[in-house]
Amino acid sequence: MAEILKFVYTMILFVSIFIIVVNVGGKCVSDAECSGQYMCPTLTVIKCIKDECVCIHYDHDKQ
> pLDDT tens, 4-44?
989 988 888 777 765 554 444 567 888 888 877 777 777 78
Total domains in the fold of the chain? 1
Q: How far apart are CA 21 and CA 49, in angstroms?
A: 22
Q: What is the extent of the structural domain holding 7?
A: 2-62
CA pair distance 60, 44, nearest whole angstrom? 10
* Higher local confidence (pLDDT), 63 or 7: 7
Predicted confidence at residue 17, as pLDDT, reads: 66
pLDDT at 54: 84
Pairing of strands 44-49, 52-57: antiparallel
